[in-house]
Structure 1
Amino acid sequence: MKRLLDYSRSQCAGSPDSINTPISECISSTRFSALTIYTAIELLFETGVRVGELCSITLEDVDIAQGIITIFGKGSRERKVFMTSDTTWRLLTAYITLSKQFRRTDSSALLVTSQGHGAGPAHIRSKLAQQAKAAGLTRHITPHMLRHSAATHLIEAGVDIRFVQKLLGHQSIATTQIYTQVTDNSLRDVLTRAGARLRLEAAM
């Protein structure tokens, strides 16, 4: 995922610091489109939200000062996700300001296209696939894969599965446990490779 993030960042400004620099200037629709998908990727990866939830976020749902976004998930269940990364916080702050140049007056969506309309799930999926291909990734990348990666990284970092369940908006913890199986498989692969190396060293 790092290659995807790095490539997406390079297409819009290079870094969150440079994104913040030209806030008062006009930007091209091409650059803004790249900035929208980069912002989407960062939010998907950091918060683990579903793509439908991401596209449903409105400006009123975002508390920039506190770094909190209110999500309305399946069954209209409400939960909070957090921008714990300073990079994501600065990116979103800059994006909201820059989007004013393109945003239609009747659009309250957080993420908008260069035509000013709310960016829908199909738009995000399409742009994400294009970015991944341009970044040289041979695997087809989907928004759900970013959500999956977010959950897996948290579990591998030792975050309690109950907190991951709440973050992802899973009603049943059994759904969240799928991600623990993935990390267990990863652990087994690592241990297997390590054992193979030890045997090889012992034979030398």
Structure 2
Amino acid sequence: MSSRELPPEPADAVERFATHLRDEAGRSPHTVRAYRADVVSMLTFAAERGVARVSDLDLSVLRAWLAARRAAGSARATLARQVSAARVFTDWAVRRGLADTDVGARLTGPAVRRNPPSVLRPDQAEALLAVAAADTSPVALRDAAVLETLYATGIRVSELCGLDVSDVDFARRLVRVLGKGARERSVPFGAPAERAMRVYLQTARGELCRSATESAMFLGVRGGRLHPSSVRRLLDRRQTAAGGPAVTPHDLRHSAATHLLEGGADLRSVQELLGHASIDSTQIYTHVTAERLRGAFDQAHPRA
């Protein structure tokens, strides 16, 4: 759906809104694309009903748009995002003088059911890392360093692929990560990840690199920056060899967070490590650890 199909005033508002999200609010490219598409959908729906200006939007139009989205089969998570996009847009429109009233402030959407994340047991994570470390080819050494870094830090796969060599501080065992919303944070890693990264840098990265100016920490087989899809494939290969359950890079992130909490880390520290803007996003891991505690209790206590 294109903003070119909109009347001139809302079409201009969409582009200004997208620029605001990108340049002022620091939203990720994915969020900018999603919110822009949602707002175009909303304003197109309104225009088809004779609402040609942002200032003429009202709550009934927004609710009718969401009802149409629901009838078209939008999932609960998608509807929740569309509500968020509409609310952010109408708030922005008031602050920019395009509307007098924030009609989206009273808009509500469905609660999103959050399933517990998929988490490896510590022994399964150890088996995966051991299999990756058993091979000494350049690609295998890279794979081992990638998996050790993902599990040690809990960073997102996009954050891992965005790392440059200069982002790794071996002296302090920290990686500098650029996360969602262009927020930068430093994440610690342990001795096993340090060893894997040092071996990769000293013996494998030069074999993969095709350009002296390439700054990426982790490289693909063609010498360029490693892509998230390649990380997913290498994880599939290594996990199949380890004989464990299917796992994604995000499952390693979930596992790292859960194992930190089970080891005694406090929730705020885990929030900082994961780069969550809100602790609500980190709370889900407390449910996982509580379920594990219940399982252990039921199995071991004589009066469970």
TM-score in terms of structure 1 length? 0.83
Counterpart residue number, 1:76:
182
Alignment partner of 1:154 out of 260, 273, 277: 260
Q: Which residue of 2 aligns with 1:135?
A: 242
Q: How big is each residue's C-alpha offset from its partner over 1:49-85, in whole Å with a ceiling of 9 and x where there is no partner?
A: 00000000001211122211100000100000112x2
- Detail structure 1 runs of 4+ shifted over 6 Å in the superposition: none
Q: Is the 8 A contact 2:168 2:175 kept in 1?
A: yes
- Aligned equivalent of 2:194, options 89, 92, 102: 89
What's 2:160 paired with? 54
Deviation at 1:113, TM superposition (A): 2.1
- More moved, 145-154 vs 63-72: 63-72
Measure, in 2, the Cα distance between the counterparts of 1:53 and 1:199.
46
User: 1:199, CA displacement in angstroms?
Assistant: 5.5
Distance in 2, Cα, partners of 1:134 & 1:93: 24
Partners of 1:49 and 1:147 within 8 A in 2: yes
- 1:108 aligned onto 2:215: yes
Q: For 1:33-48, what aligned pairs fall within 5 Å after superposition?
A: 33-48=139-154
Higher relative contact order (CA 8 A, sep 6+): 1
Return the letter of the residue paired with 2:271.
Answer: Q
| Equivalent in the alignment of 1:125 | 232
Q: Aligned partners of 1:37, 1:105: CA distance in 2, in Å?
A: 22
The answer to whether the 8 Å contact 2:262/2:289 transfers is: yes
The answer as to whether partners of 2:148 and 2:192 remain within 8 angstroms in 1 is no
Aligned residue in 2 for 1:8: 132
Give the secondary-structure state (helix, strand or coil) at the position aligned to 1:42. helix
Unaligned runs of 5+ in 1: 13-30
Larger radius of gyration: 2
Quote the offset at 1:90 in angstroms. 2.0
Give the Cα separation in 2 of the matches to 1:121 and 1:106: 21
Q: CA RMSD, aligned part only?
A: 1.4
Task: Report the AA paired with residue 3 of structure 1.
Answer: A
- Pairwise CA distance, 1:106: 3.3
The match for 1:173 is: 279
CA distance in 1, matches of 2:198, 2:238: 22
SS of the residue corresponding to residue 11 of structure 1 reads: coil
Question: Is contact 1:32-1:114 (8 Å) kept?
Answer: no
Contact 2:150 2:253 in 1 (8 A): yes
Structure 2 residue ranges without an equivalent (≥5): 1-124
Correspondence for 2:291 among 182, 185, 189: 185
